Structure 1
């Protein structure tokens, strides 16, 4: 162990430019009376070296300027051995994207002790272009071969591309059917062929779960679901869910075919029965939906859905009734196009990438007439070590048309584990004369997180949230009728996320930074599913 530590110390100095460092034999003193061992490691660090010149010797396949833009080592920088190793991998990957899977990158460093500099030469032998030979899949007992193969960005016989191979692994992982995905390459029968072996370890995709949570508004929350995320090994999803609490009773069934006949087209159908107490009124909704989607590019897709629902509003006191806020039954029939750009590296535990969502709803194909719009963006970026920064924002806007106002049951509400943590729906937005939340026609939400993955399935996070619901009501002292950044509620807190056999689970505790009279100081949240 001590010898390994000596090598680590030497590597530490090499990464900081001390290329002549000498880590001498340690001196070990044993104090038997105190039962202690004192270890002294003499170090002669020597001079610090910087990069004086960088000479890239290759060909015109990739220009030296393009390579220099991609590597970390720059002229004038302190010489860093680990950084140079990473640059070698980067250059190898660049040539791999051009079909040169066996490119050889060899660095040579000439040290100048007089001026403490290094002349760095990187020789590149690109080798021959190689093509994809056989693609084999092993380990899939239940999942059909085509479900895995259709996620590959490479096809047998085409020019090899290392970036497409990496993306293929990401896509297979994002299916969430496998505990582990390994992709290995080896030379094929011919020198210009490369075979690809994909080995997967399946995990259970059918679940039956029962959960219990608690919140100050809903009290105890019971949820149960029966779902199969890989129905008959075809990659289809069938889910039946029920959620019960003191203010809601929701039931739904949904089926999704993500790749209709192995094409880029998806199909979804669902039916639901939802009973929600919004405190200022009750809403019971029964209906169904149908959707079609298509992948436009590697990271972009479009979806068009149709939703029909019969909604009954009740529980509104006679004194509070208005033309647009009253006990009645209304029909909503809407079509909703949605555009999504998603470049996250992992859907369940992302560490890098963007997700943009732009959606629009047009209701009035029979029944109530209104429009709703949403723009949502999420960004993930590695910070230091395993630490990941996450930023999320969402803006919503809704209004009626054709002489109609937006139905109250279509208002936006905020508060809880997946929106403004530290708050519940009682706290945010316009209120009636009784102090009950009415919701609003506009909403703005901002979330910032610092996440640390303790393991593949367990990560902790700290957060700062801000947001509000905007609209009209008897009491708008904590909000406004229109978007107003000066009227944002805010909170701070932390929590954990756990990838359980039943899916992602999240526990969070948020503390209000702008607590109002009558509000709790903080809220505990439990949720199933992804945060954003």
Structure 2
């Protein structure tokens, strides 16, 4: 124990001795450092005070640097030598820029620039210009400005001091420009659309900027995300080209689009998930989505959030809050799950509703049409749930009432006061009509071919006339309906004074002349060859002239038509047609040569028109034809049938008054509106007609847009024809139904009354299979269709339909000619109960609005088909249906 203690004491003493020796060795150096006149090269202690300055009397002129270097030891005191050493260590020799400070800039030369002009470079040198005093700080700022411009990869400045000032030479190295932008791997989005998305950041011919490229890559990703391709990858490559240019190539990996797998709503207690999903575009797959929710589109999703807000406002939830939706990728990264949190808040009822008009001084006055009429225009009543959309619509109707009376600047802003405690809202609608406004100048712009009067006569407003909003909207509709223009925009602007509003009609013309030569095949007419020359806006006058020729297996046609919408600048319209037509049917053929003259007059512009048509036509009926594409088979058996009036022919001279009501938005391919027409055609010996008949015809077509692309259509047509002649109505004037033109799913012209006759007058001859179709005096058919898009980019649409119709015989002549038909729907003897005997069918089809015209491919399936009828009928044709 004592031995261990002694060993430890020896170690302690040894440590103390070593510390003493170390302190003794360092102490002289510390003392020398603290003396102001220490050894040469000594520095003052860090943070210590500087040595006191020498007395003023001891100041000496400083020696040149080279003299100081050559001094001998002992030339000064040790303190002076140390001070000189310290000073030579801190101070550096001044730079050329410092030496040039304050001297005038006499020259600035720019070198290295090829695309960027010298003047553009000098614009960035704001501080360093000829005539200004030179400063290094100003030069540094100018160089920074040049670099920040993004035009150069490198900037160097050479400075030369001269006797008269400073000369600067700025050497720049330009960044390359973008010669071309290329894309690869993009299949779902066209290169043009991607280029447009990039145009905000990058364009051909601009200077290459890597920061802009990185922003452009994000723009491309955003573009793909808008289309539902959230996993799209974008990379880029810069390829050098000649003359300091580059080609920028973007490589895209699109991957599969991300579809919406599920939409979850949280907090919606008063509106069901189904109702919310119905108003959303997101999550609604297309026709070929096969159960998926369709691709996710950011723009559509943002619209859906606004629509959900509007839906709640329309239900009275004025404090609703729709939180920022949460969008999450599924674990397999091929789908999206959307969660939308809704804080509905209370539902508000209307406590009071007041609609009144006040003048400029705020006093209440009698409104336009009276207080009662004005209040009745607002359908909401106290106690009803608040509905913003309905209120806005009613206020819009009030504003239209005032604007149609000339008060174009009417004000009708609703004011709502909420009572959250009682969950009620007070609505006040204050109206200020302001002053009357008249139309000023009406200027038409963009019509390089069409004459001004062709456009002005379609306008329902005139200069110096009281302003009318409804007339202005109808004017746009009428100009658009001409079909001469791709675009019609009507805008208003302040006139020369507050009482006048100028109207600008901006149009974009489109070609109105067409020359078409085509050939095709139809299940109705077999091979078809057509040629047509048409000018819908002849010499810009609004007149129409067309020449059409067609030949097929069942028709030969030559038709020349001329149409004048405003005869002698009057409201009357006139149309002239001259034609020669050969038509072949199953039972007979008809050759018609003649012409028609039609006069029209608008009863209610532009919806209701009256027309009167005179037709002079010579008809020839036979059982064998030649259309130029072959001779039809002889139908001698049908020619020998015991039908007295089967082949009546000769001259037909008739007049046909008609009324037409048309509100369709497009006459060729309508999606909304109504078309109604009723006519009576009289062919009588008093007009020189050899064929006599009275034919009534009524047509009704209705178009209802369920959505922007889903259209429900209904076509109905009824007709009746009678004759004072005992022999009855000529067969060419009777009604034959069946086929793609009226009731689909059946053979063409196969629906109607049939006679169970034999092939000839010989009682031993064979009976005609299934009877002879003789046509009817009375007919009705209807077509109900639902049209939907399939591939909108190439104008391919689908249709599902159901048809109904039949033709009935009213003449006793045919009823008594043969025994009754075994089928009620083909019985030639009429009674009121027979009106319920109709043929029905259903089917589906495709329609392609091709450059050659509308093509129809349709499959029809008859309900309750007869034994001799087929299970289904496929037909295709060229032309629109209705």
Query: Which residue of 450, 453, 457 maps to 2:786?
Result: 450
How far 1:61 sits from its partner (Å)? 0.7
Aligned runs of 1:276-315 on 2, under 5 Å? 276-298=583-605, 299-315=607-623
How far 1:469 sits from its partner (Å)? 1.6
* Structure 1 range deviating more: 11-20 or 451-460: 451-460
Aligned partner of 1:261 in structure 2 is 568
Aligned partner of 1:14 in structure 2 is 313
How far 1:160 sits from its partner (Å)? 1.5
Question: Given the alignment of the two structures, is residue 43 of structure 1 paired with residue 393 of structure 2, yes or no?
Answer: no
- Sort the Cα spacing of 1:418 and 1:143 in 2 relative to 1 into closer, same or farther, 3 A: farther
* Structure 1 range deviating more: 450-459 or 56-65: 450-459
Aligned partner of 2:826 in structure 1 is 479
1:297-326 CA-partner distances (Å, limit 9, x unpaired): 212222112111111111163421532113
1:79-138 CA-partner distances (Å, limit 9, x unpaired): 233444434433322222221111112011112223322222212112222111111111
Aligned partner of 2:742 in structure 1 is 419
How far 1:386 sits from its partner (Å)? 5.5
Distance 2:669 2:592 in 1: 33
* Structure 1 range deviating more: 236-245 or 520-529: 520-529
Question: Given the alignment of the two structures, is residue 526 of structure 1 paired with residue 526 of structure 2, yes or no?
Answer: no
Query: Which residue of 461, 464, 479 maps to 2:802?
Result: 464
TM-score normalised by structure 1 residue count: 0.89
- Sort the Cα spacing of 1:307 and 1:178 in 2 relative to 1 into closer, same or farther, 3 A: same
1:229-269 CA-partner distances (Å, limit 9, x unpaired): 11111111112223333222222111111111221111111
Name the SS of the counterpart of 1:154 in structure 2: coil
1:304-360 CA-partner distances (Å, limit 9, x unpaired): 12111111111163421532113x641111111112222334433444443321211
1:453-510 CA-partner distances (Å, limit 9, x unpaired): 7879776543322111222476853334447332211222344556666666555443
How far 1:17 sits from its partner (Å)? 2.3
How far 1:398 sits from its partner (Å)? 0.8
1:421-451 CA-partner distances (Å, limit 9, x unpaired): 3334242112453455432222112222334
Residue segments in structure 2 that go unaligned for 5+ positions in a row: 1-297, 358-365, 624-634, 756-767
Aligned runs of 1:134-145 on 2, under 5 Å? 134-145=441-452
Aligned partner of 2:351 in structure 1 is 52
Distance 1:351 1:69 in 2: 32
Distance 1:130 1:206 in 2: 41
CA contact (8 A) 2:524 2:877 kept: no
1:174-226 CA-partner distances (Å, limit 9, x unpaired): 11111221111122112111211111112222122345555544333443322
Aligned partner of 1:399 in structure 2 is 722
- Sort the Cα spacing of 1:122 and 1:451 in 2 relative to 1 into closer, same or farther, 3 A: farther
Question: Given the alignment of the two structures, is residue 492 of structure 1 paired with residue 842 of structure 2, yes or no?
Answer: yes
Residue segments in structure 1 that go unaligned for 5+ positions in a row: none
Distance 1:178 1:451 in 2: 26
Question: Given the alignment of the two structures, is residue 325 of structure 1 paired with residue 624 of structure 2, yes or no?
Answer: no
CA contact (8 A) 1:173 1:346 kept: no
RMSD: 3.1
* Structure 1 range deviating more: 32-41 or 263-272: 32-41
Aligned partner of 2:137 in structure 1 is none
Aligned runs of 1:198-237 on 2, under 5 Å? 198-212=505-519, 214-237=521-544
1:136-181 CA-partner distances (Å, limit 9, x unpaired): 1112122111111111111112112111111111111111111221
Aligned runs of 1:140-219 on 2, under 5 Å? 140-212=447-519, 214-219=521-526
Query: Which has more radius of gyration?
Result: 2
CA contact (8 A) 1:150 1:262 kept: no
Aligned partner of 1:94 in structure 2 is 401
- Sort the Cα spacing of 1:187 and 1:409 in 2 relative to 1 into closer, same or farther, 3 A: same
Query: Which residue of 696, 702, 716 maps to 1:373?
Result: 696
Aligned partner of 1:441 in structure 2 is 777
Name the SS of the counterpart of 1:320 in structure 2: coil
Name the SS of the counterpart of 1:79 in structure 2: coil
CA contact (8 A) 1:369 1:404 kept: no
How far 1:387 sits from its partner (Å)? 4.2
- Sort the Cα spacing of 1:500 and 1:98 in 2 relative to 1 into closer, same or farther, 3 A: farther
1:336-395 CA-partner distances (Å, limit 9, x unpaired): 111222233443344444332121111122211111111222233444666443333221
Aligned partner of 2:668 in structure 1 is 348
* Structure 1 range deviating more: 299-308 or 60-69: 60-69
Aligned partner of 1:515 in structure 2 is 865
CA contact (8 A) 2:438 2:464 kept: yes
Equivalent pairs counted in the alignment come to 530
- Sort the Cα spacing of 1:72 and 1:419 in 2 relative to 1 into closer, same or farther, 3 A: farther
Distance 1:463 1:70 in 2: 40
CA contact (8 A) 1:423 1:523 kept: no
- Sort the Cα spacing of 1:505 and 1:146 in 2 relative to 1 into closer, same or farther, 3 A: farther
Distance 1:343 1:3 in 2: 35
Name the SS of the counterpart of 1:485 in structure 2: helix
CA contact (8 A) 2:740 2:748 kept: no
Query: Which residue of 425, 432, 442 maps to 1:125?
Result: 432
Q: Which has the higher contact order (CA 8 A, sep 6+)?
A: 1
Name the SS of the counterpart of 2:753 in structure 1: coil
Structure whose residues are more often helix by fraction = 2
* Structure 1 range deviating more: 176-185 or 27-36: 27-36
Distance 2:335 2:480 in 1: 49
CA contact (8 A) 2:349 2:383 kept: yes
Distance 1:352 1:168 in 2: 18
- Sort the Cα spacing of 1:208 and 1:391 in 2 relative to 1 into closer, same or farther, 3 A: same
- Sort the Cα spacing of 1:416 and 1:262 in 2 relative to 1 into closer, same or farther, 3 A: farther
How far 1:68 sits from its partner (Å)? 5.2
- Sort the Cα spacing of 1:329 and 1:353 in 2 relative to 1 into closer, same or farther, 3 A: closer
TM-score normalised by structure 2 residue count: 0.55
Name the SS of the counterpart of 2:401 in structure 1: helix
Name the SS of the counterpart of 2:393 in structure 1: helix
How far 1:73 sits from its partner (Å)? 4.6
